[in-house]
């Protein structure tokens, strides 16, 4: 290992072993590093699963295809949406509606809260 993955510090030194794997110590921030293989699925599998899911392929089918649980696909989609989707800009119009106030007005007036009535 020649560099710390979390900081730009290049000075990483050996610091014993953990469960048979070499442990490394970052001189910059003091992190102890042991993992050498990346966890999770390759990035292309996540992207392909998201694209196929957007085109209508069921998550159970994708799970079987990629060898993961169907519930694993949803976090991939959420992460992809968080990475690539833009937040909508506020339109400047906000409508405040208090549920308790509606019920109280309905009780006091005895009238139905009919459609088309303006609540503020
Ligand atoms: Zn570091």
Residue 100 CA, ligand 1 centroid: distance in Å: 53
pLDDT for res 115: 61
Do the domain assignments include residue 25? yes
Residue 35 CA, ligand 1 centroid: distance in Å: 14
Domain coverage including residue 79: 43-83
Close Cβ partners of 24 (under 8 Å, ≥ 6 residues apart):
1, 12, 13, 14, 15, 32, 33, 34
Residue 23 CA, ligand 1 centroid: distance in Å: 13
List, for residues 58-105, the tens digit of each pLDDT value: 999 999 999 999 999 999 999 999 998 888 787 877 777 666 665 665
Check: CB of residue 5 under 8 Å from CB of residue 33. yes
Task: Give yes or no: residues 4 and 17 share one domain.
Answer: yes
Check: CB of residue 25 under 8 Å from CB of residue 32. yes
Do the domain assignments include residue 102? no
Task: Give the whole-angstrom CA distance, residue 24 versus residue 3.
Answer: 10
Q: Give the predicted TM-score (pTM) of the model.
A: 0.48
């Amino acid at each position: 290992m020649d560099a710390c993955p979390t900081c730009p510090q290049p000075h990483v030194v050996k610091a014993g072993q953990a469960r048979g794997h070499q442990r490394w110590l970052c001189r910059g921030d003091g992190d102890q590093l042991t993992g050498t293989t990346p966890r999770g699925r390759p990035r292309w599998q996540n992207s392909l699963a998201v694209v196929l899911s957007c085109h209508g392929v069921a998550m159970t089918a994708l799970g079987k295809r990629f060898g993961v649980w169907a519930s694993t696909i949803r976090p991939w989609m959420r992460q992809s949406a968080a990475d690539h989707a833009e937040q909508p800009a506020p339109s400047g119009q906000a409508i405040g509606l208090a549920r308790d106030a509606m019920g109280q007005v309905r009780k006091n007036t005895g009238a139905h809260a009919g459609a088309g009535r303006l609540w503020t």
